[in-house]
Amino acid sequence: MSDAALAHEAHEEHPTSTGLNHRKILMWAFLGSECIFFGSLITTYLVYRGKSVVGPYPGEILNIPLTSVSTFVLLMSSLAMVLSLAGFERAAGAGTDEERRRSELKKGRFWLLMTAVLGTGFLGFQVYEFYEFVHHGLGLTTNLFGTTFYVLTGFHGTHVGVGVVWLVSLLVLSYFGKVKPLDVELGGLYWHFVDIVWIIIFTLIYLIPS
Amino acid sequence: MATVTDVRTQERVSTGAAIWSWITTIDHKRIGVLYFVTSLIYFLVAGIEALLIRLQLATPDGEILDPDLYNQLFTMHGTAMVFMVAMPMAAAFFNFLIPLMIGARDVAFPRLNAFSYWTFLGGSLLMHSSFLFGQAPDGGWFGYANLTSKEYSPGLSIDFWGLGLLVLGVASVAAALNFIITIINLRAPGMTLMRMPVFVWMTFVTSFLIIFAFPAITAALIFLEFDRLFGTNFYEVAEGGDPMLWQHLFWVFGHPEVYILVLPGFGIASEILPTFSRKPIFGYSAMVFAAVAIGFLGFSVWAHHMFTTGMGTIADAAFAGSTMLIAIPTGIKMFNWVATCFGGRIRLTTPMLFALGFLTTFLIGGLTGPMLAAVPLDLHFQDSYFVVGHFHYVLFGGLILALMGGVYYWYPKITGRMMSEKIGKVHFWLMFMSMNLTFFPMHFVGLDGMPRRVSTYAADMGWEGWNMFISISAFGIGLSVLVFLHNLVVSYKKGEPAGNDPWDARTLEWAIPSPPPEHNFDEIPQVTHRDQVWYDKYGEGHGSAAELSKVDTSVAEHAEEDEEHDVHMPNPSYWPLLVSAGLTIAAAGLLIHILVAIFGVAWTIVAIYAWSLEPASDPPNEH
Ligand code: HEM
Ligand SMILES: [Cu+2]
């Protein structure tokens, strides 16, 4: 990050009533709203569990080992996200120690890339899973299970996709000195949220037998 | 004092530049005006729809509207009144007033604010464009499944409705997030939460209700559109789907929505009543906590709209009970308003008349509420004109009257000129009388069994007398709206110059010029009391009239040094408009062709990037 950008940043920190940054509260409030959205989708899935009038049914088709792996991949991406943020923060705090700043920034960027790669990996698993299911005769409109399953996991996957694009954008922008630790933190908040939603989905849909 | 040399004169430069400055504006005051004008236009449209409905129902076996058109009109009337009149008109007040009342220069995210407005405009135009194709939505404002299925509603009418509402939902949530952060984070030094004007509190609670209620209808609408566009089974009975799912999701949103509609009215009344009673609001903290309680309880009562669906006695009893509980905080508010007036030196100005009108009509609507919450009664009232009477008392009485009062109260601040009191009083009495004469008899015909949403009735039902009466009164409301418009327009040119503080009022916006300068406050005010401006004028020996206590040195340390000399206002931007346009095109594309939708999404993405890379304001370090 260039000095000009740092100076700009210092100047930009307007005092706020609570001392918290606007965008951070915005992100939290937005995620609160998202909770209700995913809550509605998940509740709908649960309400319709076992109500399909034709197969294939979840028990015949869900591949728990495979999805466990993809869940693990997504979980690891959250870890990478934490490491990336730490890198960016340390770089920003390095002060005049130019060498340290560079090396921390490098770490931050590396883990940011890893997060995006792992996120893409998760999406790959999901695409594969959908493909397999369709092969086994479960389409979006086949039955209630197909309908609720694809819409729920599809919207989750879309969120992951948006997250990946966001992270990659941050990565690119960081080479232009335009990324502050706060930007990474906001992306991270979103990323962790999407991750937690997946853990709930995985538990309720895959692990609890119907 | 720069009272009447206002924005208007400066902007006569060239119309092109003027229009461009409105398109790219991110000034919360201008966005407030945009919201107001747009929602006023929709108010006229939806009002005309209502009058057409009443024309049809004036006589038995009416033949003015065929049933299809009748369905479209009441659906668009209800939908527009809720989403394109009540909510955005409240948003107009939020926008204009919240930064002024808390002592801020703008909202927390000015560009997001512009985005909210343009998205609202896009969604509402999308839905209304259905009239051009003769396919206006016709499934009621609640759009019950599975009447809305492709099977029972072929064509595009329901898609216009569903996709339009989805876009409108984005606008509402974005705006609500903005106000939450603004209120949390941009309060002037000393403006603690419990010193905020009640209107600010009501906005705060409303915004939370919006961000937690809208996702439910968003999910419900996505299910609906997936069913209709891609053939999924969410509401397909033959596939095991359950139309009740829609009702639950809709009302989980829908009941909080009625508080989203009415809390702004509460807020406006809570500003007007103390000013014209010359007493601080009675029971400030009770007022605040009652609103918060209403907000919470509002999420636990949704199924009182579903007593006739056979949920079973236990559920019925539980929801009846929780609904009646809400009467307690609401009652607290009523008593506090009355107590605010009690013993005050009351000035019966037009805003005050409207606030008192709000109080009385909302009381009547509030009393029929618990009647509807009593299950045995509701089984009789449900879907009758009694319900129409009830909710117009709360919506027209609780919201529209309060909003009208708000217009009279803040018009001087917004334009720099007073509205005519004489015309205002004619407006008030005509509107107040006509609305009561319109909506009260609806209870009678409702009790007598007249159904709502049915396009006609037979001559031998004995309802024609009241119906003719109701319809004539409804035109009285129409006339009163014309009087109001007349007053708005005439006063803009000929109204008396208002000065800073024509009402001798209490909150921070009255200490600055009318209309306020672009940056609102030359110096950010320092707040030490509730009703700060009263305190500054009359309080404890501080005789210096109408002047805010200035930022003292200890606070100035926190403020930026350059603030006093030149204030950095964020730059105008057209990207918010372009993102909104992209979203609207994407939604419209689902009606036209999937490629158009993809084009819209791509457009949106490009515009979002451009937006986030555009600097929000000029780099401030070059002095
Ligand atoms: C200008 C004065 C108004 C008149 C004369 C009027 C008249 C009517 C009538 C006659 C109906 C019932 C149609 C039927 O059931 O067949 C109706 C429905 C409705 N009105 Fe109004 N109304 C007015 C203002 C408002 C306002 C200010 C609001 C809300 C802010 C509102 C919200 C609604 C809603 C939500 C419905 C239900 C629509 C439905 O059943 O889908 N109205 N109105
Ligand atoms: Cu309700």
Q: Is B99 within 8 Å of B107 (Cβ atoms)?
A: yes
C-alpha distance from B181 to closest chain A C-alpha (Å): 6
* Average pLDDT estimate for B395-401: 94
pLDDT given for residue B16 in this prediction: 85
Which pTM value belongs to this model? 0.91
Ligand lying closest to the C-alpha of residue B402: 1
**Share above pLDDT 70 across residues of chain A, in percent, rounded to a whole number:** 92
> For ligand 1, what atom is nearest to the CA of residue B85?
30
Rounded-to-5 percentages of helix, strand, coil across chain A: 80, 0, 20
Question: What is the per-residue pLDDT for A210?
Answer: 62
Per mean pLDDT, which range of A145-159, B7-21, B125-139 is the poorest?
B7-21
Residue of B nearest to A16 (CA): B185
pLDDT for position B111: 93
Q: Tell me, what DSSP letter sits at residue A205? A: I
- Residue A5 has what pLDDT? 41
Would you list the DSSP string of B308-345? GG---HHHHHHHHHHHHHHHHHHHHHHHHHHHHHTTS-
Which residues in chain B are closer than 8 Å to A7, comparing Cβ atoms? Answer: 621
Q: What radius of gyration, in Å, describes the C-alpha atoms of chain B? A: 25
Q: Which residues contact A11 (CB under 8 A, 6 or more apart)?
A: B620, B621
Residue A11 has pLDDT above 80, yes or no: no
Query: For position B17, what pLDDT does the model report?
Result: 87
Buried b (16+ CB within 10 A) or exposed e, B571-592: ebbbbbbbbbbbbbbbbbbbbe
User: Closest-CA residue in chain B for A28?
Assistant: B177
Question: CB of B396 closer than 6 A to ligand 1?
Answer: yes
The pLDDT of residue B607 is 94
- Digit-coded pLDDT (tens) for B11-67: 456 888 889 999 999 999 999 999 999 999 999 999 999 999 999 999 999 899 999
Which residues, at least 6 apart from B311, have a Cβ–Cβ distance to it below 8 Å?
A: B303, B319
B330 pLDDT above the threshold of 90: yes
pLDDT at B491 over 70: yes
Write down the pLDDT at residue B570. 81
Tokens representing residue B282 in the block: 């009675």
> Which whole number is the average pLDDT over A145-169?
96
Structure tokens at B489: 């327009």
Of B233, B613, B620, the CB nearest to A141: B233
What pLDDT digit, counting tens, does each position of B207-226 carry? Answer: 999 999 999 999 999 999 99
CB within 8 Å of B220: residues ≥ 6 apart:
A40, B245, B246, B249, B250, B253
Residue B1 has pLDDT above 90, yes or no: no
Whether residue B515 is preceded by a cis peptide bond, meaning omega within 30 degrees of 0, is yes
pLDDT at B617 over 70: no
- Quickly state the pLDDT bin for B124 (edges 50, 70, 90): very high
Q: What is the pLDDT of residue B14?
A: 82
User: What is the C-alpha to C-alpha distance for residues B164 and B76, in angstroms, rounded to an integer?
Assistant: 12
Cβ(B272) – ligand 1 distance below 6 Å: no
**pLDDT tens across B511-540, in order?**
999 999 999 998 889 999 898 888 888 875
Over the stretch A98-133, which tens digit does the pLDDT of each residue have?
899 999 999 999 999 999 999 999 999 999 999 999
Q: Give the C-alpha separation, B424 to B419, whole Å.
A: 7
Task: Indicate the average pLDDT of chain B.
Answer: 90
**Phi, psi values for residue B346, rounded to 5°:** -80, 130
User: Count H helices, E strands: chain A?
Assistant: 7, 0
**Which of B70, B71, B76, B81 gets mutated to test ligand 1 (max ligand atoms within 8 A of its CB)?**
B81
Alpha-carbon distance of A31 to B355, in angstroms, equals 37
Average pLDDT (A142-152) is 95
Chain centroid to Cα B466, Å, comes to: 31
Q: Which atom of ligand 1 is nearest to the CA of B454?
A: 16
Indicate which atom in ligand 1 lies nearest the CA of residue B73: 13
pLDDT band at A16 (very low <50, low <70, confident <90, very high): confident
- How much is the average pLDDT of B569-579? 89
Taking the CB of residue B345, how many other CB atoms lie within 10 A of it?
8
Across the range B498-515, mean pLDDT stands at: 92
DSSP sequence for B413-475? HHHSBPPPHHHHHHHHHHHHHHHHHHHHHHHHHHHTTPBSS-S---GGGS-HHHHHHHHHHHH
Side chain identity, residue B178: N
d(CA B233, CA A45): 12
Atom in ligand 1 nearest the alpha carbon of residue B142: 41
pLDDT confidence of B262, banded at 50, 70, 90?
A: very high
Q: Return the pLDDT at B608.
A: 93
d(CA B355, ligand 1 centre) in Å: 22
Class of residue B617 by CB neighbours under 10 A (exposed 0-12, middle 13-18, buried 19+):
exposed
Q: Is the pLDDT of residue B560 over 70?
A: no
Give the closest ligand to the alpha carbon of residue B456. Answer: 1
Residue A140 and residue B230 in contact, taking contact as beta carbons nearer than 8 Å:
yes
Angle (nearest 5°) at CA B398 between B267 and B278: 45
pLDDT of residue B618: 58
Query: What gap in Å lies between CA B325 and CA B290, rounded to an integer?
Result: 12
CA atoms within 13 A on the CB side of B74: 21
Of A14, A33, A51, nearest to B211 by CB-CB distance is A33
User: By CB neighbour count within 10 A (0-12 exposed, 13-18 middle, 19+ buried), where does A147 fall?
Assistant: buried
- Residues on chain A touching B230 (C-beta within 8 angstroms): 140-141
Q: Tell me the ligand closest to B303's alpha carbon.
A: 2
B-interface mutation test, from A3, A8, A12, A14, most B Cβ less than 10 A away:
A14
pLDDT of residue B69 exceeding 70, the answer is: yes
Please answer yes or no on whether B240 and A33 come within 8 Å at the CB atom.
no
Q: Strand, helix or coil at B497?
A: strand
Q: What is the pLDDT of residue A9?
A: 40
Higher pLDDT, B78 or B13: B78
The pLDDT of residue A7 is 38
- Residue B449 beta carbon below 6 angstroms from any ligand 1 atom: no
Q: Does A14 score more than 90 pLDDT? A: no
Is B395's C-beta closer than 6 angstroms to any atom of ligand 1?
yes
User: Minimal Cα–Cα distance from B450 to chain A, Å?
Assistant: 36
Chain length of chain B: 623
Check pocket membership of B255 for ligand 1, CB cut-off 6 A: no
Q: Which residues of A, range 163-182, sit inside 8 Å of B by Cβ?
A: 169, 178
Instruction: Kindly state if the Cβ of B249 falls inside 6 Å of ligand 1.
Output: no
> How far does the centroid of ligand 2 lie from the alpha carbon of residue B360, in Å?
21
What CA–CA distance (Å, rounded) separates B622 from B497? Answer: 39
> Residues B351-359: what's their mean pLDDT?
97
Which tokens sit at A7? 């100076």
Q: Is residue A57 helix, strand or coil?
A: coil
pLDDT at B557: 39
Q: Decide if A62 contacts A173 (C-beta within 8 A).
A: no
CA-angle at B414, arms to B408 and B415, nearest 5°: 95
Which atom of ligand 1 is nearest the CA belonging to B455?
A: 16
pLDDT at B12: 58
Using 50, 70 and 90 to split pLDDT, how confident is the model at B620? very low
**pLDDT of B419 higher than 50:** yes
pLDDT at B492: 94
Evaluate whether the domain defined by B7-572 bears CATH number 3.40.50.11440.
no
Phi-psi label, residue B546: left if phi above 0, alpha if psi -120 to 50, beta otherwise: left
> Rounded to the nearest 10 degrees, what angle do helices B313-341 and B244-277 cross at?
10
**Does position B583 have pLDDT exceeding 50, yes or no?**
yes
- CB count, 10 Å around CB of B52? 17
B462: left (phi > 0), else alpha (psi -120 to 50), else beta?
A: left
Question: What average pLDDT does this structure show over B140-147?
Answer: 93
Omega into A56 within 30° of 0, i.e. cis?
A: yes
Interface predicted TM-score (ipTM) of this complex, two decimals:
0.92
Cβ contacts from A onto B, under 8 A: 110
Task: Give CA–CA dist B487/B508, Å, rounded.
Answer: 26
Residue B566's pLDDT band (cuts 50, 70, 90):
low
Domains of chain A, earliest start first: 3-207 (1.20.120.80)
Q: How far apart are CA A48 and CA B236, in angstroms?
A: 12
The pLDDT of residue B540: 58
% of chain B beyond a pLDDT of 90:
83
CA–CA separation, B241 and B231 (whole Å): 13
pLDDT of B87-113, one tens digit each?
999 999 999 999 999 999 999 999 999
Q: Which residues surround ligand 2, an ion (CB under 5 A)?
A: B 255
**Residues β-bridged to residue B451:** B384
What is the b/e burial string over A24-62, where b = at least 16 CB atoms within 10 angstroms of the residue's CB? ebbbbbbbbbbebbbbbbbbbbeebbeebeebbebeebb
| In chain B, % of residues over pLDDT 70 | 92
Q: Do B215 and A37 touch (CB under 8 A)?
A: yes
